Amino acid sequence: MEKKQDSFYEKEGNEPYGSCIPETARTYMESVGGQATEITEGEGQKTEKSEELRLYAKAAALIDGDSLRVLYGKDSDTRYPMASTTKIMTCLYTLEHGNLDDVVTVSSRAASQPKVHLGMREGQQYRLQDLLYSLMLESHNDSAVAIAEHIGGSVEQFCMDMSTKARELGLKDTNFETPNGLDSDGHYTTAKELAILGAYALRNETFVQIVNTKTYTFSELLKGGSHTVNNKNAFLTMYDGAIGIKTGFTSKASYCFVGAVKRDDRTFVSSVLSSGWYPKKTYKWADTKKLMDYGVNQFQKVAILKPCVLKERVNVSGGTKKQIQVQAQQSADTLLQGSDRLSYKLSWLDDGLTAPVKEKQLAGYLLVYLNGKLYQKVPLLTMEGCQTFDYGWCLKKVLSRFMFY
């Protein structure tokens, strides 16, 4: 059980863990007397501010690609169909579980998929890597099914596996029933979770390489028929620093897009769902530009924590030492804007430790709050051990002195 102390603010002669706080973070610290709240759902998120950007999309989200913090949201927790942005997970899951040199044999089910398609025929064979380029650059539905059957054994099993992967990533409102994003009642996500999925995918170097490729040529393996696929993501040439990710459209989902921008040390990932209806193809680009402009112009990367030794020591009961020094070994940074506010709390385990104590034993946590909500929980570890003050320890001390003299 943890025992919490009052929020810390820089005061003369009272900096129990002030050395943990970089100077860059102090600009964002709450004024003296403010209070940080207990942990709640939606840690460190901003409130919904859809009216400010006037987006076409019914739902949208902008996140920090590194910390996954939501920077902006419009109806971002409501479930919507996602169309071909589904293929982000199809590609990511395949990269994590498949061999890119595998040979994929096309089934009748894969060959019968509707447009947009590569034009596969039953019995044809393709290299798995080539099909991933077909999947992500031109969004071919037949390639998606061929990949799913090869990796999962069946489309149904592959979709179950993708849904399980979503749960592992903490995406509780995302479910897959198709590998290509064709409409299905149980196939959905939210703007926030789709952006988070995009951010996870960007951590895979091969995924980034694929979605940033302009054009790619490959051949069917049996008869050698050649295919050239071209990247349909126009955002790559619309915005400075754009690095992806995936478009989507169905009659139910309307236009969708997951975008990503990297500027210096900042990575922004956005998603828009149901961004205009046919033929308003450009709405998704306009929405994404607004989201990215908001991120680039409003947020800077700020160091909010650095490794340090706390001035305040943890109490030890029944030990040969009454107190032991502790340290925080982690550093952290995040994207902040001018209205963001940080606060910090020291939280010991119970009233301290009970001997015996080991070196690097958990003593408590340094809690970092962002806008009144718990953002990071940093372990505080002991810098030395401590034996139990008992008869055995006393006897050893006496004997050691006797032998010395």
CATH, residue 256: 3.40.710.10
Catalytic (active-site) positions: 84, 87, 139
* Mean pLDDT within 225-233: 96
Residue 405 domain-assigned?
no
DSSP string, 62-90: EEETTT--EEEEESTTS-B--GGGGHHHH
Is residue 42 very low, low, confident or very high in pLDDT (cuts 50, 70, 90)? very low
Number of domains in the chain: 2
Identify the three-state secondary structure at position 283. Answer: helix
Asked if the structure places residue 399 within a domain, the reply is no
pLDDT bucket at 399, cuts 50 / 70 / 90: low
Is the domain of 130 the same as that of 87?
A: yes
Last residue within a domain, chosen from 256, 282, 298: 298
Q: Which of 278-282, 310-314, 375-379 has the lowest mean pLDDT?
A: 310-314
Tokens of 259: 């975008």
Please determine, for residue 218, whether its predicted confidence score (pLDDT) is greater than 80.
yes
User: Is 115 inside a domain boundary?
Assistant: yes
- Residues 351 and 3: beta-carbon distance below 8 Å: yes
End of a domain among 271, 298, 325?
298
Give me the pLDDT at residue 403, please.
58
* 401 domain-assigned: no
The pLDDT value recorded for residue 72 is 97
**pTM metric for this prediction:** 0.86
Instruction: Tell whether 87 and 156 lie within a shared domain.
Output: yes
Shared domain for 218 and 310, answered yes or no, is no
Residue 284 lies in a domain: yes
My answer on whether 217 and 234 are in the same domain is yes
Same domain, 35 and 66: no
402 lies in some domain: no
pLDDT cut 90: percent of the chain above it: 72
Asked if 218 and 312 sit in the same domain, the reply is: no
pLDDT digit string, tens, across residues 314-327: 888 888 888 888 99
Contact predicate 71/299, CB 8 Å: yes
Which CATH number do you get for residue 351?
2.60.410.10
218 and 313 in a single domain? The answer is no
Q: Which residues contact 184 (CB under 8 A, 6 or more apart)?
A: 177, 178
- The pLDDT value given to residue 8: 40
Instruction: Give the residue from 298, 330, 352 where a domain finishes.
Output: 298
Flag whether pLDDT at 44 surpasses 50: no
**Across 14-121, where does the E strand assignment appear?**
59-64, 70-74, 103-105
Q: Is residue 397 domain-resident?
A: no
Sign, CA dihedral 89-93-98-99, equals positive
pLDDT of amino acid 321: 87
Cα separation, 130 vs 218, whole angstroms: 6
Shared domain for 29 and 63, answered yes or no, is no
Has residue 82 been placed in a domain?
A: yes
145 phi/psi in degrees, rounded to 5: -70, -40
Beta strands 373-382 and 362-370, pairing class = antiparallel
On whether the CB atoms of residues 350 and 365 are closer than 8 A, the answer is no
Return the beta strands (E) in 264-313 as ranges. 266-273, 300-305, 308-309
- Using one digit for the tens of pLDDT, what is the confidence trace for 162-201? 999 999 999 999 999 999 999 999 999 999 999 999 999 9
Reply yes or no on whether the pLDDT at 12 is more than 70.
no
Asked if 29 and 84 sit in the same domain, the reply is: no
Task: Give the pLDDT of residue 62.
Answer: 98
Same domain, 338 and 236: no
Q: Quick one: 310 and 366 in the same domain?
A: yes
Q: Both 311 and 193 in a single domain?
A: no
3-state secondary structure of 174: coil
* Domain residue limits at 31: 2-42+306-382
